[in-house]
Structure 1
Amino acid sequence: MLKQILLVGLGGGIGSIFRFLTSVFATRYAVNGFPLGTFIANVLGCFILGICVGIFGKNPTENENLRLLFVTGFCGGYTTFSTFASENIQLLQQQNYTLLIIYTLASLLVGFLAVAVGLSFGKSW
């Protein structure tokens, strides 16, 4: 059990660092208050998760440690639903309904698409 905890912690720590770097980079290009950093992290995280599930799903018992490191750890540390929800509340409070709808729908639709494409990549790997 300690090994699994360490794998999740290592992956989560690395994912969190990448999440921070993504936000720093994306802030330079954000326009009109669109939460670009969170959007990029969540979509890219969905894509990576799809790839991992496709690859590791072929032999789940053999790939358990890799799944813990990448799916539970890295993707869990990289993506952020809580920030997504918080940013939507801020847009709602600012009465920026157009951006709220665009951000929410784009995040969900592009996120689902990213998982599907990643899964397809992972299965064919």
Structure 2
Amino acid sequence: MADRLVPVLVALGGFLGATSRYLVGTAVPGPRGTFVVNVLGSFVLALSIGVVRSSRLRFFLATGLLSSFTTYSTFAVETTSLGPTWGLANVGANYAFGFLAALLGLAAGRRFA
């Protein structure tokens, strides 16, 4: 039987992630805010892989909170609006720092697991 609490956890996480995304975007507007949430989200997601054992908590964090906190669509629109040079720099920075944050998160997760 499927866990009936999972959709509620995903919805609650989504609400909190979207609200947090809005607050970060207000504090750090534009591409820099998107960069912050994408790098932070990469770190927390990777960290949770090593630390979180509960499937319910993983659904809450990964599928709910972090998927609505990070934002590919905003990243794509903002990147195209920056023009070719700055757009390419934005893509490079987001991917480089996102991967670095994920590596650090995985390492931290292994250390604290």
Check whether TM > 0.5.
yes
Deviation at 1:82, TM superposition (A): 0.9
| Counterpart-to-counterpart distance in 1, 2:73 and 2:95 | 14
| Counterpart-to-counterpart distance in 1, 2:44 and 2:81 | 28
Structure 1 stretches of 5 or more lacking a match?
A: 28-33
1:20 and 2:7 aligned: no
Counterpart in the other structure of 1:36: 32
| Counterpart-to-counterpart distance in 1, 2:93 and 2:55 | 32
Q: Which runs of 4+ in 1 moved over 3 A?
A: none
**Residues 31, 79 of structure 2: 8 Å contact kept:** no
Deviation at 1:119, TM superposition (A): 1.1
Counterpart in the other structure of 2:67: 76
Given residue 106 of structure 1, which amino acid in structure 2 is its aligned partner? A
Tell me the percent identity: 36
Deviation track 1:52-91 (CA, whole Å, cap 9, x = no partner) reads 01112xx4xxx10010011111111100011111112222
Counterpart in the other structure of 1:52: 48
| Counterpart-to-counterpart distance in 2, 1:87 and 1:35 | 6
Higher mean alpha-carbon deviation, 82-91 vs 44-53, is at 82-91
| Counterpart-to-counterpart distance in 2, 1:116 and 1:20 | 26
| Counterpart-to-counterpart distance in 1, 2:102 and 2:14 | 19
1:87 and 2:78 aligned: yes
Q: When the two structures are superposed, what TM-score results if normalisation uses the length of structure 1?
A: 0.83
| Counterpart-to-counterpart distance in 1, 2:106 and 2:8 | 26
| Counterpart-to-counterpart distance in 1, 2:14 and 2:73 | 15
Root mean square deviation, CA, Å: 1.2
